[in-house]
Chain A
Amino acid sequence: MLTVASLSRAELEARLAGPGLSVQTGPFVSRIHSPIERIAEGIATLYGDYPLRDFDGFADFHVHMRRSGGLRRWYRPQVSFDIDGLEPFEPLPQEHAFPMLEWALNWCISTRAHAYLMIHAAVVERDGVAAILPAPPGSGKSTLCAALVSRGWRLLSDELALIRPQDGLLVPVPRPISLKNRSIDVIRDFARDPVISRPVENTTKGTVAHVKAPGDSVARAHESARPAWIVFPKYEDGAVTSLEPIPRARAFFRVAENAFNYSPLGAVGFNTLADTIDRTVIYDFRYSVLEEAIAVFASLKPPAA
């Protein structure tokens, strides 16, 4: 199987600027078009392990990251994202092109992949069972996810828990882990030789950078996992590490609030989420020390299948 890493940098740039780079991430094929050097740089850094697909085959998402035209081609150049002729985001400075591509790919999935119940959550797996970490921005979800992955948990996703209604299993879509501001240095120090993209300053989220997904997680992207825990993480400076059970009915609503498509799925969404609540143990988790957080996750006992 050919991967993105099999392309030379010149070949990668030629595909991006020409017929498009078709790359498989979990169940999705994205065809990415862009003449922007920052896009090629980010993909070369973080997507080397991902399967290449034919540039004339089927793709779920046709993503164009274009240079803005007119004066913006020379004066404070910008990048715009379009998909099927739509431009859902405002253009951004061209230095933000790679983070914008990541946000664009998240947007493609979260607005279109309604074959799944989609929750805004990180998902990590160990010994065949997975922890779902739903949380709003600023909760430390991605930092915790990156830390767990650096200590042997398999990455299913940093952003999107995809629950398949037919069997309730979590479908992996492992992509780079998005870090913000202080978390970038935290993970640089904590993880063992992480591959991190060039930090991009002054985005709407502050300084952002992405951590490469482990090759093993990418290679096992076809292996679904049974949800065993739902953990709502919350980083609080100086907090004592604590893990508190949440009553299931209350947890149901908290997970639904973090779902992208609970309402559009109707009864399928209700039953899929209810089945997930049934088969998991659910906690609020507060932490300030990553090593202690890792130890708590290592001690989690899965419920009986």
Chain B
Amino acid sequence: MAASETWSLRPGQTLQHRQWDSEFVLYNDLSGDTHLLGDAAIVLLQALRTGPATRAALAAVLENEFEADAGDDKLDFAAEADSLLDHMKRLFLVDRSAC
């Protein structure tokens, strides 16, 4: 995937979520579906609420949010962002468009 690849929320949906412990339940009023998601997925969705973002920017959002939690472990935030975005694309929450 290109770092400049752009992701956005699917248009027309209103997302509501609740958090219990470290898990989130998300409701998509467009599809009527309810999803169980982790905190990293919610961070990405919240970042996309302000508008489309590149893959690189979204990886940076994850790094900024979770770097401190990672401690000395080297985490591949770009790969994590790719995995989460692909997962949420299959759930019809986000879309990608090549720029």
Q: Is the CB of A247 within 8 A of B25?
A: no
Please indicate the chain B residues that have their CB under 8 angstroms from the CB of A267 in the complex: 14, 16, 27, 29
Contact in complex: B24, A249 (CB < 8 Å): yes
Bound-complex Cα distance A274 to B27 (A): 10
Q: Which chain B positions have C-beta within 8 A of A252?
A: 18, 20, 25, 34
CB pair A278–B32 under 8 Å, yes or no, is no
Q: Does B36 count as interface, using CB distance less than 8 angstroms?
A: yes
User: Cβ of B27 and Cβ of A249 under 8 Å apart?
Assistant: no
Q: How many A-B residue pairs have CB under 8 A?
A: 39
- Helix, strand, loop or mixed for chain B's interface? strand
- Count of chain B residues near A, Cβ 8 A: 13
**Most chain A beta-carbon neighbours within 10 Å: one of B21, B24, B25:** B25
Q: Which residues of B contact A271 (CB under 8 A)?
A: 16
From known contacts A248-B21, A270-B16, infer whether A253 and B36 are also in contact, taking CB-CB under 8 Å: yes
- B13-33 CB mask vs A (1 if < 8 Å, else 0) is 010101011011101010010
Contact residues of A between 248 and 304, Cβ < 8 Å to B: 248-250, 252-253, 256, 263, 266-267, 270-271, 274, 277-278
Of B21, B23, B27, which one neighbours A270 at CB under 8 angstroms?
B27
**A270 touching B24 by the CB < 8 A rule?**
no
Most chain B CB neighbours (cut-off 10 Å) among A247, A249, A256, A266: A249
Q: Which of B23, B29, B34 contacts A247 (CB 8 A)?
A: B23
A248-B20, A277-B20 given; A270·B36 CB < 8 A: no
Q: What are 21 pairs between A and B in contact, CB < 8 Å? A: A247-B20, A247-B23, A248-B20, A249-B21, A249-B23, A249-B24, A250-B23, A252-B20, A252-B34, A253-B25, A256-B34, A263-B32, A266-B29, A266-B32, A267-B14, A267-B27, A267-B29, A271-B16, A274-B25, A277-B18, A277-B20
Question: What are the nearest 5 A-B pairs in CB distance?
Answer: A248-B20, A249-B23, A270-B27, A274-B18, A249-B20
